[in-house]
Amino acid sequence: MAESGPVFELTQVSYRYPDGAMGIRDLDLVIHARERVALLGANGSGKSTLLKVLDGLLFPQAGTVRAFGETLQEPRLREDGFRQVFRRQVGFVFQQADAQLFSSTVWEEIAFGPVHLGLGDAEVRDRVADVLALFELKSIQDRPPFRLSGGEKKKVALAAVVATNPAVVLLDEPTAGLDPRTQRGLLDLLLRFGQGGKTLLTATHDLDTVSELADRVLVFGEDHRLVADGPPAAILADKDLLLRVNLIDPRFHTHGHDGAHRHYHIHN
Amino acid sequence: MHIPDGYLSPATCVSCGVLMVPAWVLAARRVRTWLHSRAVPLMACGAAFAFTIMLYNIPVPGGTTAHAVGGGLLAVVLGPWAALICVTIALTIQAFLFGDGGLWTLAANCFNMALVLPFTAYAVYQAVSGASDLRATRRWVGAALGGYVGLTAAATCVGVELGLQPSLFHTANGVPLYCPYPLEIAVPAMLVSHLLLAGPLEGVVTGLVIRALQAADPSLLDLHARSLAPPTGARKLWWALGGLILLSPLGLLARGTAWGEWGIEEVQQMLGYVPAGMQRLAGAWPHAPFPDYALPGMTSSWAAALGYIVCALVGVGAIAALTHVMSRCQMAERAGRSSERTE
Amino acid sequence: MSDPGRALPAWLAAPAPLPTFPPAGAPRRDVLADTVHAIAAAFERDLVCEAVARRPGLLQGVDPRVKLGTLFALIGIVGALHHVGPLLILNGWLLWLAHRSQLPLGAFAKRVWGAVLLFTGTVVFPTLFNIIRPGTPLLVLFHTSHPITWGPWTLPSDVAITHEGVAGASLLLLRVGASVSLTILLTLTTPWPRLLQACRTFRVPPVFCAVLEMTYRYLFLLLRTSSDLFLARRSRLVGQVGGRAQRRFVAGAMASLWGKTAALSEEVHSAMLARGYAGVPRAVGQCAMAPSDWVWVALVGLVALLVVGGDRLLG
């Protein structure tokens, strides 16, 4: 795999679901290492589809996807050697935590990645212990996933992904449905990973967290095309763009300082 | 329908285990070939589904409720081999974690509800619906009939397993050690309650669910089309063998003993004496488990018929197992010889 | 979304009057609620087991694999006993085990023997009499002048409780009681995930073990989905519903659950693939056995020897 060069390179990629629904349309995209990218767009605009295409879970009908210099194709991913290296490099935190936590306890869940990527027993145990400590999950390590709260589930999902030490982390709506404190904790963790040199791609429609999470914002329209690509400040200030892609409603407004945001107040 | 621990002797439990192990191995292989990496998540979700629907209370006429087993439903939707695995796992979880059904009797319960029920239901479903369109009426009617027949067949097996206990396992004074009800009571009791109540309920529920699935997403009914091996010539031979096994009790109609197969008593009657050599060798092998093809301790005529069928199954099973082992040895020898030649 | 300027329909916009409830009448049994209760009971059972498994008792300290193996073997021993005496002794020992494992004895005894006497007792009750099987009378109940025949069944002239009937019934009751005690001891003192993981040691193929553990994980999700379905139905039900419509609802609930199940398994499959799964389940090797486990095995061996030996000595 290439040492330098882009992490992901997409050329005219289009994906349509088996039931006919459109996923992404004619996408050209380059993502470099250590970039922190936010994918913005209304529901159904193609953010999740793009993440799955990048992770080699969906294969586009048109266009090519290159990851770390290699073309991502289904037969290639079925080769043991390629699969193990690729899956170790890229981690994916799914939107639906219940599908992602499929082991019988938290400990087993975090161990799943390392075990299936060929690490030895002792190394797996050490890794899991480190991850449990980092995420402060030690007290619930023997708990089955159905007895975790929403916030705990998201933490465990991220922990399980981080356990294989991927270079790239793809996140699908990581802060959706979380209470403010849990959301803050998760964001802090993500910031640390970003500072540690990981490439982060986060799909979200929560505008409040974008400027914290990302240095680059990709906006997807309801026509499943890439509509804008730029730094957060510029994108979030472009109210017409945000209205057009259904990310804000007409009552959204900003105040005279950096960063668009929404907050509670009463005008008399 | 779950048999608890204590009703079946350890020998019966082990025999059921011996019967089930090849079925499990074969099912695992079939399902892996069909599903590859999808096997584990789909079987797990299927088993969780099977467990969950077994908990549903279904109102029956009369004001009470009953439960469906769902083996027929799974067989129609996922195919009989996958249904075998899903119901086995569901029964395992029920036995271990919820105390429904015994641990030693798990293999027997699997035989009844994971093997007999789905396969019978599937056979009936295929026979009725054939290759008709996924939305056709024949599909859900076939599924309903399959559920009914499958559950009744499974109930009959439960009755037989329980009913055999008193005659096979008792103390010297005749006290039954395990289930105390003999065949003449156990089988009719199971049959009547399932033919009239549980069977129709299973059939109705299976039919209704398949109909609902037909309306919602017919493609769900076709998932397993590729999981079954295409029928080969050998399959017809197995069906023929099965038919012959079922017909074997006809031999009971023949009176007297075949020429040359007389016992010592008959020879004594015919000749007035017994040759010395015959006398000496007559009792040489007293350990036959099924002397005269009869189940020990039972004398009624239809018990004798059952004895013939059981003996036929045991005999066919033993020959099949022996043949399988011999062919494996042959294949290994052949592979060894060919690898020697290439070196 | 509807145009915010459009007026609400009249029946929706009119203020609702305060409800007036009819006087109390006969409550009708809500059959669908039974399912919800059954599901809630399943959740509760899991929580209770979790609580008991945390206590510092005798059985809690034994390795789950060893426990599974020894208690399973003991159920087989129960099946091999032919006399009431050894079975009574074994049941007594199991009660002692329950006590040492910090299980409340009253509740334990009630749970085991209450259920056994109720269900197995009912099943086995008719065999006490010589209606089912002839035998030497222990207590003659009543006497008719001649035996009454009815098809293949004959009622003997002296209807009595027989020795053999009592012996057979007590054997079965004690057997079932001991087996149920052993199963409850196993599940109450072991966290369920670890119990299922113990199957990996017993040469069960990895695919089966992986499916078993994942089934346990998703079981409660499907139970909760079902419970929500039934509760939602209950909250929307205004009038009376007949049995047929209820059956139709239950079938519809099953179909809807299957749709969700199939979709869930696809998502789980993607998630597994994303973490490196390729079709061969792998697991971390398990720790070695501790000396206390060997002590336990020895204890069980001793008890088994004593009980079976005594049984064989009795005849």
Give the length of chain C. 315
B44-101 per-position pLDDT tens digit: 999 999 999 999 988 887 777 788 898 999 999 999 999 999 999 999 999 998 888 8
Residue B181 is nearest to which of C127, C214, C222, comparing CB atoms?
C127
| Residue pair C87/C171 in contact by the 8 Å Cβ criterion | yes
Q: Is B104 close to C246, i.e. CB distance below 8 A?
A: no
Pull the structure tokens for residue B6.
């204590």
Tell whether B57 is within 8 A of chain C (Cβ).
yes
Lowest mean pLDDT among A19-33, B98-112, B127-141, C255-269: B127-141
Q: Is C208 close to B173, i.e. CB distance below 8 A?
A: no
Q: What is the pLDDT of residue B321?
A: 76
Contacts of A251 (CB under 8 A, 6+ apart): none
| Residue pair A40/A46 in contact by the 8 Å Cβ criterion | no
Which of B239-243, C6-10, C265-269 is most confident? Answer: C265-269
| Test mutation, C43, C54, C275, chain A, max A CBs within 10 A | C275
Q: For C134, which residue in chain B has the nearest alpha carbon?
A: B174
Cα A23 to chain centroid, rounded: 17
- E strands, chain A, are 8-16, 22-31, 36-41, 62-67, 70-71, 90-93, 168-172, 199-204, 216-220, 226-230
Higher pLDDT, C138 or A233: A233
Residue B156: pLDDT above 90?
A: yes
- Give the neighbours of chain A: at least 3 Cβ pairs within 8 Å: C
Dist. CA B304–CA B293, nearest whole Å: 8
Give me the total of CB pairs closer than 8 Å, taking one residue from chain B and one from chain C: 245
Q: What is the pLDDT of residue C180?
A: 93
| Test mutation, A48, A96, A146, chain C, max C CBs within 10 A | A146
A9-57 per-position pLDDT tens digit: 999 999 998 888 888 999 999 999 999 999 998 888 889 999 999 999 9
Q: What is the pLDDT of residue A112?
A: 93
- E strands, chain B, are 58-59, 65-66
**β-pairing verdict for A168-172 and A199-204:** parallel
Q: Which of C84, C90, C76 is nearest to C168 (CA)?
A: C84
DSSP letter assigned to residue A21 = -
Please say whether the dihedral angle defined by the alpha carbons of residues C125, C131, C134 and C139, taken in this order, is positive or negative: positive
| Residue pair A107/A133 in contact by the 8 Å Cβ criterion | no
Q: For C28, which residue in chain B has the nearest alpha carbon?
A: B63
| Residue pair A236/A259 in contact by the 8 Å Cβ criterion | yes
Contacts with C, B 320-339, CB within 8 Å = none
For residue A182, the tally of other CB atoms under 10 A from its CB is 17
Contacts of C256 in chain B (CB under 8 A): 212, 216
Q: What is the pLDDT of residue B11?
A: 92
Contacts of C269 in chain B (CB under 8 A): 37-38, 41-42
| Residue pair A158/A189 in contact by the 8 Å Cβ criterion | yes
DSSP letter assigned to residue B116 = I
Residue C284 is nearest to which of A87, A115, A145, comparing CB atoms?
A115
Q: For A87, which residue in chain C has the nearest alpha carbon?
A: C276
Pull the structure tokens for residue A233.
């400040």
Q: What is the pLDDT of residue A207?
A: 83
Q: For C273, which residue in chain A has the nearest alpha carbon?
A: A57
Pull the structure tokens for residue B296.
């020990």
Q: Is B56 close to C168, i.e. CB distance below 8 A?
A: no
Tell whether B32 is within 8 A of chain C (Cβ).
yes
Distance from CA of C263 to the nearest CA of A (A): 10
Which three-class secondary structure string do you get for C146-209? Answer: CCEEECCEEECCEEEEEHHHHHHHHHHHHHHHHHHHHHHHHHHCCCHHHHHHHHHHHCCCHHHH
- B108-136: average pLDDT: 91
Which three-class secondary structure string do you get for chain C? Answer: CCCCCCCCCHHHHCCCCCCCCCCCCCCCCCHHHHHHHHHHHHHHHHHHHHHHHCCCCCHHHCCHHHHHHHHHHHHHHHHHCCCHHHHHHHHHHHHHHHHHCCCCHHHHHHHHHHHHHHHHHHHHHHHHECCCCCCCEEEEEEECCCCEEECCEEECCEEEEEHHHHHHHHHHHHHHHHHHHHHHHHHHCCCHHHHHHHHHHHCCCHHHHHHHHHHHHHHHHHHHHHHHHHHHHHHHCCCCCCHHHHHHHHHHHHHHHHHHHHHHHHHHHHHHHHCCCCCCCCCCCCCCCCHHHHHHHHHHHHHHHHHHHHHHHCC
Residue C255 is nearest to which of B43, B166, B213, comparing CB atoms?
B213
Q: How far is CA A137 from CA A149, A154, A190, C100, in A?
A: 12, 12, 16, 32
DSSP letter assigned to residue B215 = H
Residue C168 is nearest to which of B10, B48, B176, comparing CB atoms?
B176
Q: Is C258 close to B173, i.e. CB distance below 8 A?
A: no
Dist. CA B55–CA B58, nearest whole Å: 9
Distance from CA of A257 to the nearest CA of C (A): 32
Tell whether C54 is within 8 A of chain A (Cβ).
no
Q: What is the pLDDT of residue A102?
A: 92
Tell whether B98 is within 8 A of chain C (Cβ).
yes
Residue B175 is nearest to which of C31, C164, C179, comparing CB atoms?
C164
| Test mutation, B33, B55, B162, B300, chain C, max C CBs within 10 A | B55
Contacts of C275 in chain A (CB under 8 A): 87, 91, 112-113, 116, 160-161, 164
Dist. CA A72–CA A52, nearest whole Å: 12
Q: What is the pLDDT of residue C3?
A: 61
Tell whether C238 is within 8 A of chain A (Cβ).
no
Residue C219 is nearest to which of B48, B85, B174, comparing CB atoms?
B48
Q: Is A125 close to C220, i.e. CB distance below 8 A?
A: no
pLDDT over 90, % of chain B: 36
Pull the structure tokens for residue B298.
């039972």
Distance from CA of B187 to the nearest CA of C (A): 14
Q: What is the pLDDT of residue B75?
A: 93
Residue C214 is nearest to which of B40, B57, B175, comparing CB atoms?
B40
DSSP letter assigned to residue B176 = B
| Test mutation, C87, C124, C216, C258, chain B, max B CBs within 10 A | C258
Pull the structure tokens for residue B301.
């005529």
Pull the structure tokens for residue C280.
């061969």
Q: Which of A38, A9, A29, A30 is nearest to A235 (CA)?
A: A38
pLDDT over 70, % of chain C: 96
Q: Is A98 close to C224, i.e. CB distance below 8 A?
A: no
Residue C275 is nearest to which of A78, A104, A116, comparing CB atoms?
A116
Pull the structure tokens for residue C307.
């009980």
Residue B291: pLDDT above 80?
A: no
Residue B123: pLDDT above 50?
A: yes
Dist. CA A107–CA A87, nearest whole Å: 20
- B139-145: average pLDDT: 92
What is the overall mean pLDDT for chain C? 86
Contacts with C, B 182-221, CB within 8 Å = 182, 184-185, 204-205, 208-209, 211-213, 216-217, 220
Residue A145 is nearest to which of C192, C217, C276, comparing CB atoms?
C217
Q: How far is CA B73 from CA B117, B127, B140, C220, in A?
A: 10, 16, 10, 21
Residue B184's Cβ-count burial label (10 Å; 0-12, 13-18, 19+) is middle
Please say whether the dihedral angle defined by the alpha carbons of residues C171, C172, C177 and C178, taken in this order, is positive or negative: positive
Residue A2: pLDDT band by 50, 70, 90 thresholds? Answer: very low
Cα B233 to chain centroid, rounded: 23
- C127-140: average pLDDT: 78
pTM score of the predicted model = 0.82
Please say whether the dihedral angle defined by the alpha carbons of residues A83, A88, A89 and A92, taken in this order, is positive or negative: positive
Higher pLDDT, C49 or A129: A129
Lowest mean pLDDT among B32-36, B201-205, B260-264, C32-36: B260-264
| Residue pair A222/A42 in contact by the 8 Å Cβ criterion | yes
Dist. CA B141–CA B126, nearest whole Å: 11
Residue C300: pLDDT band by 50, 70, 90 thresholds? Answer: very high
Half-sphere exposure (CA, 13 Å, Cβ side) for C172? 33
Q: Is B216 close to C255, i.e. CB distance below 8 A?
A: yes
Q: What is the pLDDT of residue B159?
A: 93
Contacts of C276 in chain A (CB under 8 A): 83-84, 87-88, 112-113, 116-117, 164
Lowest mean pLDDT among B15-19, B255-259, C191-195, C246-250: B255-259
Q: What is the pLDDT of residue C18?
A: 86
Q: Which of B125, B176, B165 is nearest to B148 (CA)?
A: B125
Q: For C213, which residue in chain A has the nearest alpha carbon?
A: A104
Distance from CA of C71 to the nearest CA of B (A): 10
Q: How far is CA C211 from CA B87, B333, C123, in A?
A: 12, 35, 35
B209-221 per-position pLDDT tens digit: 999 988 887 777 7
Bridge partners (DSSP) of residue B58 are B66
Contacts of B63 in chain C (CB under 8 A): 29
What is the overall mean pLDDT for chain B? 83
Q: What is the pLDDT of residue C100?
A: 92
- C175-182: average pLDDT: 94
ipTM exceeding 0.90? no
Q: Is A88 close to C272, i.e. CB distance below 8 A?
A: no
Residue B252: pLDDT above 70?
A: no
Q: What is the pLDDT of residue A1?
A: 44
| Test mutation, C45, C209, C216, C217, chain A, max A CBs within 10 A | C217
| Test mutation, C44, C269, C284, chain A, max A CBs within 10 A | C284
| Residue pair B305/B252 in contact by the 8 Å Cβ criterion | yes
Higher pLDDT, A146 or B130: A146
Residue A244: pLDDT band by 50, 70, 90 thresholds? Answer: confident
Dist. CA C147–CA C145, nearest whole Å: 7
- E strands, A94-250, are 168-172, 199-204, 216-220, 226-230
Contacts of B172 in chain C (CB under 8 A): 315
Tell whether B85 is within 8 A of chain C (Cβ).
yes
Dist. CA B83–CA B94, nearest whole Å: 16
Tell whether C284 is within 8 A of chain A (Cβ).
yes
Higher pLDDT, B122 or C144: B122
Lowest mean pLDDT among B116-125, C33-42, C205-214: C33-42
